[in-house]
Each structure stands twice: as C-alpha cells, then as structure tokens.
C-alpha cells in the first residue's frame, strides 16, 4: 500500500509539499509533516498486476515524482527512502471578475484569474485572428464535418431529404 | 484578412463577419446574406443568413501589471461605424462618447466612440472577459456589438483605430517609446 500525503487540499487533489509513504511512519515530523497533512490518498502499489508504483526519488539533485511503470520481468528492489517533493502549485482560483457599469464607464470591482479556457481563446485570437474573435466562436471546425444541405431542384424530393 | 468565423451549427454558412487589418486600423464587417436561401431554419439549425442578428466582435487588449513602471500605459482606440442599407429606419441621433475601463479609480482603457462618423447608430461598446494572468498582466476584450441588420445584403462596417502610439496592444510588457496618457 502507498499513502500519499499532501500539505494542502483542493477538492480533487493535494498540493504543497507531498510525500509517498510505503512504510509505517510513527512520526511525520521526520518529513516536515507534523500537523500539516491536509490530503491523503491511499492506493495499492500494483495496478491490474501490470503496473507498479515507483516512489518519488531524488536523482542527482533532481526530484522525480512518484509514478506508475509497467511491471518488469525482474521485480525491482524495494526503495526504503521517502522523498518529500518540492511544493506543488495549487489550483488557480476560478472566481469571475466583477465589473459594474456607470454611464459610459466600466469599473473593475475585482479581477478573476485567467482560466485555461480564456487562455486558449486568447492564444487563438492572437495567433490566428488578428486579435479579434467573432461571436459564438467555438474553435476550428474540421473540414467536411458540416453537413451540406443543397436544394434538390427536383419537385418530388424536398430539400431536407436531398443528400449530396 | 482574419479567419472567417463559422458558427458551430450543422450547416454551411455564408460569411456573416469578417475583418481586415491594415497598420493600426482594423475594419470589422458584419453582413447579411442577400439571396434569401439561407433564411430558412429547422433541423436544429438557426437562420444562417445573419439577418436580424447583431454581430459581436471581441477585440483583445492587455494591460501591464499595476505595480510596474509602465503601469500608466493607456491603450486608446477610436471606433466609428458606417452602415450600408442595413435597416429601414436607423437611429440618426448619434453623439460622440468616451467609453472607459477603470480600475482602482484609474482609466486603464479609453475608447473614443463615434468621434468622426455619426451618420447612423451602427453599434454599441462594452468590455468583457477581463481577467488577470498569474504574472499580473490584465487581459480583456472590447466588444463591438453591431445593430441587427434587418435588410438583405445590408452591412455594417466598423473602423477601429489603435491610437496607442508605438506599442503593440498585445505586448504591454514592452515599454512604449511614446505614450498616450490621459
């Protein structure tokens, strides 16, 4: 079993410093986690008998986070050293900006942080559209994905039945 | 020319919006299709002709973080509109107006609307999707909403001039050589 603990908690994951523990640890202060654990994830270290959990390590001063690897023919030796990760960034706040109108003036009451969707739209505008977006833009459509409705030009066949 | 914007519906569209950039000027064009063929609806489709619909153009701008030496950089735009046979009785009492975006009591974006051309009411302006990036840069869009085009073949041209001198509105991190200050 692996117990993956994090310093801070978001709704779906932990962040801040983290460590994956594969052994009993009576005193978490050893890893600077005394009274700090906010998020715990517990899971088996093998998955479908095909993958195994490789715990976090430091290699030549570089932190390599814990991850799943395909099980090899030879079992790996147990790594007894737990390594605390550098702080992992938490999720960005998703609060919207609040604007208010006062005649021709728009006043920014509070600013929300740019969302991933907003970033994508911005990059699309900048890179391909001369910094302009038209209304109802929802991304590039694949050529041929639209159905092409043409007039049948034949009295017995209504346009909406005609396929071309 | 900017990319043609296609609405995400299950049909082929005539062009409803297009834009062209030349130097510091962008020409935004809203058009209603003239044959009448695209004025049908059904099969979860909407009228593709563009008739009777206002068109929105989102023009991107950015602002430097407020705590930087170039924080008083002020993007200034001139916007004017010309309509071509787009409505039977367009409003003609048009007044020039300075539209601003303010933050912490300071004007951060200034738009001079209808200062040059005031023949017909063709559009209105507002700001949308104003957000802050993690590096403190603020990004947003000036939205030009055209009046609905109620006549086939009608069109509205909006001329937007970026009057902010010697700085790209897309790169406010780079200090301007000259600034337009309030």
Cβ atoms of A148 and A160 closer than 8 Å: no
Whether B170 is in a domain gets the answer no
pTM, full prediction: 0.67
Whether B113 is in a domain gets the answer yes
B169 chain-A contacts, CB cut-off 8 A: 131
Q: Is B12 on the interface with A (CB under 8 A)?
A: yes
Whether B115 is in a domain gets the answer yes
Tell me the residue range of the domain where B39 lies.
Answer: 17-162
Tell me how far apart the alpha carbons of residues B36 and A117 are, in angstroms, rounded to a whole number: 36
Looking at the partner chain, which of B7, B19, B169 has a beta carbon nearest the beta carbon of A136? B7
**Angle CA(A117)–CA(A119)–CA(A125) in degrees, nearest 5?**
105
Cβ atoms of B118 and B175 closer than 8 Å: no
Whether B138 is in a domain gets the answer yes
Closest-approach residue (CA) in chain A for B23? A130
Beta-carbon separation of B12 and A149 below 8 A: yes
Q: How far is CA A138 from CA A134, A142, B14, B52, B125, in A?
A: 10, 12, 17, 21, 22
Number of domain units in chain B:
1
Residues contacting B1, CB < 8 A, separation 6+: B18, B19, B20
Domain locations in chain A? 2-70
Whether B155 is in a domain gets the answer yes
Looking at the partner chain, which of B59, B101, B132 has a beta carbon nearest the beta carbon of A131? B59
ipTM higher than threshold 0.90? no
Closest-approach residue (CA) in chain A for B96? A104
A91 chain-B contacts, CB cut-off 8 A: none
B101 chain-A contacts, CB cut-off 8 A: 105-106, 108
CB atoms under 10 Å from CB of B25, counted, come to 12
Closest-approach residue (CA) in chain A for B56? A135
For the beta sheet containing A51-54, the strands, ordered from the edge strand earlier in sequence to the opposite edge, are A46-47, A51-54, A67-70
Beta-carbon separation of A132 and B138 below 8 A: no
Q: Is B115 on the interface with A (CB under 8 A)?
A: no
Q: In A44-57, which positions are buried (b, 16+ CB within 10 angstroms) versus exposed (e)?
A: eeeeeeeebbbbbe
Q: What share of chain B is helix, strand, coil (3-state, %, to 5)?
A: 0, 40, 60
B12: three-class secondary structure by DSSP = coil
Residue A156 Cα, gap to closest chain B Cα (Å): 19
Tell me how far apart the alpha carbons of residues B14 and B85 are, in angstroms, rounded to a whole number: 18
Closest-approach residue (CA) in chain B for A112? B131
**For residue B130, what is the enclosing H or E element?**
strand B123-132
Instruction: Show pLDDT as tens, one digit a residue, over chain B (182 residues).
Output: 444 444 444 446 678 899 999 999 999 999 998 887 777 666 555 667 888 888 999 999 999 887 666 656 889 999 999 999 999 988 988 899 999 999 988 899 999 999 888 889 999 999 999 999 988 899 999 999 999 999 999 999 999 999 986 444 455 555 444 433 32
């Amino acid at each position: 079993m692996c117990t993956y603990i994090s310093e801070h908690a978001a709704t779906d994951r932990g962040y801040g410093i983290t460590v994956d523990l594969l052994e009993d640890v009576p005193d978490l202060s050893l890893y600077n986690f005394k009274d700090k654990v906010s998020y715990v994830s517990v899971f088996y270290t093998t998955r479908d008998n095909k993958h195994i959990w490789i715990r976090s390590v430091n290699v030549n001063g570089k932190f390599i986070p814990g991850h799943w690897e395909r099980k090899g023919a030879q079992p790996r030796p147990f790594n007894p050293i737990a390594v605390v990760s550098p702080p992992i960034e938490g999720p960005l706040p998703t609060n919207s900006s609040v604007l208010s109108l006062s005649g021709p003036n728009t006043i920014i009451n509070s600013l929300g942080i740019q969302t991933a969707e907003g970033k994508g739209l911005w990059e699309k505008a900048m890179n391909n559209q001369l910094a302009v977006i038209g209304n109802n833009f929802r991304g590039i459509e694949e050529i041929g994905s639209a159905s092409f409705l043409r007039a049948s030009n034949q009295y017995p066949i209504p346009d909406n039945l005609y396929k071309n | 020319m900017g990319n043609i914007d296609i609405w995400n519906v299950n049909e082929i569209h005539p062009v409803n919006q297009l834009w062209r950039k030349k130097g510091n000027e962008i020409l935004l064009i809203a058009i209603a299709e003239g044959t009448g063929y695209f004025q049908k609806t059904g099969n979860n489709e909407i009228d593709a002709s563009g008739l009777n619909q206002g068109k929105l153009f989102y023009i991107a701008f950015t602002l430097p973080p407020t705590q930087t030496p170039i924080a008083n950089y002020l993007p200034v735009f001139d916007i004017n509109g010309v309509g071509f046979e787009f409505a039977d009785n367009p409003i003609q009492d048009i007044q020039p107006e300075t539209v601003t975006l303010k933050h912490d009591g300071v004007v951060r974006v200034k738009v001079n609307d209808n200062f040059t051309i005031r023949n017909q009411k063709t559009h209105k302006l507002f700001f949308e999707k104003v957000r802050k990036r993690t590096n403190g840069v603020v990004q947003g869009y000036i939205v030009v909403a055209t009046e609905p085009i109620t006549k086939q073949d009608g069109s509205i041209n909006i001329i937007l001039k970026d009057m902010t001198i010697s700085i790209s509105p897309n790169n406010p991190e780079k200090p301007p050589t000259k600034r337009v200050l309030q």
